[in-house]
Amino acid sequence: MSQVLTVSCKLKASQSQAAKLDATMEAFGQALNWVNQNTPEKIVNAVKLQSLCYYEIRARFGLSSNLAQQVCRRVAGARKVARQRNRPVKEFKRRFVTYDARIFSFREKDWTVSLTTVEGRERFELAIGNYQRGMLAGSNPKSATLVKRKDGSYYIQICVEKKPPKQQDTDKVIGVDFGRTDIAHTSEGDNWNGQQLSRVRERYSRLRAVLQRKASKGTRSSRRRCRELLQRLSGKERRFQVWVNHRISKAIVSRAKATNSAIALEDLTGIRERINQQPRSKTERRRANSWAFYQLRQFLEYKARVAGVSLILVPPAYTSQTCHKCLHIHPDPAQSYRSGKSFKCGHCGWEGDADLNGANVIALLGAAVNQPRGSGLFCSLVEQNRLRATESPLRTA
């Protein structure tokens, strides 16, 4: 099964070429918003949209045949995503254009791309490094997206299909426990403490609160300025989360590849909805929901696939309450051996970091899934009782 990766490449554009790119992006953005506003919102099929407004798009905005089709596909795709989130598509930005193989091509011999604009076909040189060259070498990309950044530079995001390497067979498993105190803790003892991250997130929260208060008062210009600052602040926090999650996922996958190990994670699908049903304060709810753990899982999944590392999802039930040494759980369901960041088993006496214990339990579950050899996970008390029962003679009346 092939994997689609996106390679971001900077374009070298002359002044005349930049004007053509700007005109294309402006026309493409206007066409997107016109189609979205002048067609029924319930239409999410690209073919139906094309039959309704294809000729109008070409006449109004001067786009080529294939770019007009790309407009319909983009609007249809955005509406499908918006329907899943139960909110309408409001507006499209005017700083991008999507391309397919008919209006985009890549040439490796001189590292250039050819793009269709409103004024014809243009060829652009790529300003890229060794990483991008290695990703693009020998590839035949079929789609790309042209974007213009805030600094005025142009980038082409090329989609490359790569066949991932065969996943390595191994008995070793590294368990990874996600949490708020430690963003991630592995069964090998590596951890990424969340205290510094929490301070950054609290600072962003305080700034948002101040700006939101100011945005509701003052003059019209001050309210507009506060809304602009809130938008910039949201982008900063989002980029910060992406940067941290990339660092964590890269380190975990690199360690697993170096030690010839698989990675085991808890399957936390739907955990946020279940937790939010519990009565909690507004601050506690914000702290629990603000970090993008699903994004971290996605980064781990695609990085592991590229590196040829197996990734295993295990059920999260009782992973934080089970002792990884003796697999014993507190007999009273209302109590637990875990207390905050510490874990002390009342059966075997093991004492240590609770997140490290949870990561080791996840690793044991992952090993049972990765190399199943029958039921090997059981509490030692259960095993002792079973042995006593088999050794004692049957009593008959």
Give yes or no for residue 58 having a pLDDT over 70: yes
Cα distances (angstroms) measured from residue 361 to each of 129, 185, 315, 333, 350: 42, 12, 11, 19, 13
pLDDT the model gives residue 210: 82
5-19, 72-86, 196-210: lowest mean pLDDT where? Answer: 196-210
Residue 381: band (very low, low, confident or very high) from pLDDT cuts 50, 70, 90: very low
Averaged pLDDT of the chain: 84
Interval 82-99 mean pLDDT: 88
25, 148 contact by CB (below 8 A): yes
pLDDT the model gives residue 389: 47
123-127, 247-251, 279-283, 336-340: lowest mean pLDDT where? Answer: 279-283
Domain boundaries, the chain: 3-162, 173-192+253-381
Beta bridge partners of 350: none
CA atoms of 346 and 339, how far apart (whole Å): 13
Q: Spell 45-78 as b/e; 16+ CB within 10 A means b.
A: ebeebbebbbeebbeebebbeebbbbbbebbbeb
CA atoms of 329 and 324, how far apart (whole Å): 10
211-215, 245-249, 371-375: lowest mean pLDDT where? Answer: 371-375
pLDDT in tens, 252-300: 999 999 999 999 998 877 555 555 455 555 555 545 555 578 888 999 9
pLDDT the model gives residue 213: 79
pLDDT the model gives residue 395: 38
pTM exceeds cut of 0.75? no
CA atoms of 197 and 201, how far apart (whole Å): 6
CA atoms of 10 and 157, how far apart (whole Å): 9
Sign of CA dihedral 317, 319, 321, 323: positive
CA atoms of 376 and 65, how far apart (whole Å): 62
pLDDT the model gives residue 282: 54
